[in-house]
């Protein structure tokens, strides 16, 4: 059972690291003087959003992807990966809080989430900047963290049984 959960968590963490790094690369390429036309990839309307991102937010994206990659490698090696996942999640939440304009604005965005909006997912997909979508993404990443924690606890029990 934990083999299936481990494989699922490894693949999900690798995919998450690649997605986060793709976003970090798009942001870095748009705010740095690189000879890359990011507007052709993301669209002209999203290019303005990317240019409004600050360097600390981009660094937190890069860091989040790195911690998710390390967590997946630690799962492959059967060592404890949950704390690496936690650091990656903290980087993503920190980037989101900076993007919201501070802790007060982020807290009011979370408090203003309409829970009934999750009953109509097709409407949520129309506006990817809605707080419900952003909080929903964190919920999916939290579910992945729960899977990583379950696998880590199972590994710890296995190694204690092997020692004693």
Q: Is the pLDDT of residue 68 over 90?
A: yes
The span from the CA of 158 to the CA of 146, in Å, is 18
Q: Is the pLDDT of residue 101 over 90?
A: no
Smallest CA-to-CA distance from 54 within 8, 100, 86, 107 is with 100
pLDDT tens for 8-53 read 999 999 999 999 999 898 888 888 877 777 777 777 777 777 777 8
What's the pTM value of the predicted model, to 2 decimals?
0.88
Q: Is the pLDDT of residue 164 over 70?
A: no
| Residue spans per domain, the chain | 2-163
* Predicted local confidence at residue 52, as pLDDT: 78
Q: What is the mean pLDDT of residues 71-82?
A: 92
CA-based torsion, 121, 71, 96, 26: positive or negative: negative
The span from the CA of 50 to the CA of 53, in Å, is 6
């Amino acid at each position: 059972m934990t083999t299936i959960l481990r494989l699922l968590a490894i693949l999900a963490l690798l995919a998450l690291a690649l997605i986060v790094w793709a976003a970090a690369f798009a942001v870095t390429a748009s705010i740095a003087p690189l000879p890359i036309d990011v507007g052709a990839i993301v669209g002209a309307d999203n290019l303005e959003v990317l240019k409004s991102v600050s360097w600390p937010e981009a660094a937190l994206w890069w860091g989040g992807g790195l911690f998710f990659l390390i967590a997946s490698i630690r799962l492959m090696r059967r060592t404890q990966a949950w704390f690496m996942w936690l650091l990656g999640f903290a980087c993503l939440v920190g980037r989101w809080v900076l993007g919201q304009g501070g802790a007060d604005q982020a807290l009011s965005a979370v408090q203003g989430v309409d829970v009934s909006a999750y009953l109509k997912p097709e409407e949520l997909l129309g506006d990817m900047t809605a707080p419900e979508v952003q909080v929903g993404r964190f919920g999916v990443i939290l579910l992945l963290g729960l899977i990583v924690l379950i696998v880590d606890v199972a590994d710890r029990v296995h190694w204690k049984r092997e020692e004693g």
